[in-house]
Amino acid sequence: MKYLNRYIPKEYLALKINYCRKQLEQLPKVKVHERRLNGSLKSRIIVDNHRYCPDTQTGKDYYEKMLLRNELERELDVYEAMWRYKYADPVPELVPENIVRTLYIDANTPVVMNRQYFDSLKNDANTGYSKPEYYYFNGTYYRSAAERSIAIFYTEMDIPFKYEPEVMLKGLRKPVYPDFVPYFKEIDSCKIHEHFGIMNSSDYIRDSKIKFGNLTNAGLLQDLDFMFTYSADDTILDTRYLLSKLNSLIFGSMLCCVNRHPNL
């Protein structure tokens, strides 16, 4: 979490705050009590008035919940500090909710683009052509400086992503490899992000048209399920541009009420 001085849209920050608050409301308060008995240090997991041995499955489950709660509390402290620094008004009630969006991998098979789908995607799966060795970050080689900047941005924003995963789309015989597939836990949904780095190239323009057709043919909507970003070769990608696109993408999903799960 290295983005205290980074631009972050007001709506997205409010969503992150409310997500942390909602998760904390649902998690139990767990403590670890240690005491020395007969020269040995003994630990117990304490939940309400109940005690559990840390070696039991129940004890391990509660310990994991304690770690998750600690991490969420740290995140919430950061987000609320950012809000107090930037805004005078209270945090709006932007309630996080699971948004169900589907992608068709063939004519009869829709796949929900949730955490399960995201986890099924293999990172850095495109081996069709080589990549330069000087755009390296966090164990992966990227094809351009802009792509590397995007990867750094997603990492610093604590947004999980897959780089060039293998994705099957309806109407295609071979898989495609979108540049990025980020996952947003606040809405339990992943999106497709294609970046074009040569804006004045006729080949790139034709490529963007083909990618747009492939994605929409699979049932996806621009600025709801996927987004395109652009940068010129001689300019640095401004992450404020990327964040504004993500802000629209997330809240397009939340506010358009498209394919929302009936039980939420």
Residue 261 — pLDDT band, cuts 50, 70, 90? very low
- pLDDT score, position 95: 78
Give the Å distances, CA to CA, from 165 to 7, 100, 126, 176, 253.
28, 21, 7, 8, 22
Distance CA 48, CA 166 (A): 46
In the chain, what are the domain boundaries?
10-86, 102-255
- pLDDT score, position 255: 79
Give the pLDDT confidence of 201-233 residue by residue, as tens digits.
Answer: 677 778 889 999 999 999 999 989 999 998 876
Residue 262 clears pLDDT 50, i.e. is over it:
no
Distance CA 90, CA 200 (A): 44
- pLDDT score, position 130: 82
Distance CA 171, CA 203 (A): 22
Residue 259 — pLDDT band, cuts 50, 70, 90? very low
Residue 263 — pLDDT band, cuts 50, 70, 90? very low
Residue 75 clears pLDDT 60, i.e. is over it:
yes
Distance CA 146, CA 10 (A): 25
Question: Which of the two residues, 263 and 91, has the higher pLDDT score?
Answer: 91
Distance CA 70, CA 88 (A): 27
Question: Which of the two residues, 5 and 103, has the higher pLDDT score?
Answer: 103
Give the Å distances, CA to CA, from 89 to 3, 37, 167, 255.
21, 52, 42, 22
Give the pLDDT confidence of 115-162 residue by residue, as tens digits.
Answer: 999 999 999 999 888 888 889 999 999 988 889 999 999 998 889 999
Residue 81 — pLDDT band, cuts 50, 70, 90? very high
- pLDDT score, position 56: 92
User: Torsions phi, psi of 169, nearest 5?
Assistant: -130, 145
Residue 83 clears pLDDT 70, i.e. is over it:
yes
Choice among 7-11, 17-21, 225-229 with the minimum mean pLDDT: 7-11
- pLDDT score, position 41: 75
Choice among 41-55, 60-74, 128-142, 194-208 with the minimum mean pLDDT: 194-208
Distance CA 207, CA 249 (A): 22
Residue 175 — pLDDT band, cuts 50, 70, 90? very high
- pLDDT score, position 231: 83
Residues in contact with 159: Cβ distance below 8 Å, sequence separation at least 6, in sequence order: 182, 183, 184
Give the predicted TM-score (pTM) of the model.
0.85
- pLDDT score, position 105: 94
- pLDDT score, position 163: 97
* Mean per-residue pLDDT, 23-29: 94
Residue 114 clears pLDDT 50, i.e. is over it:
yes
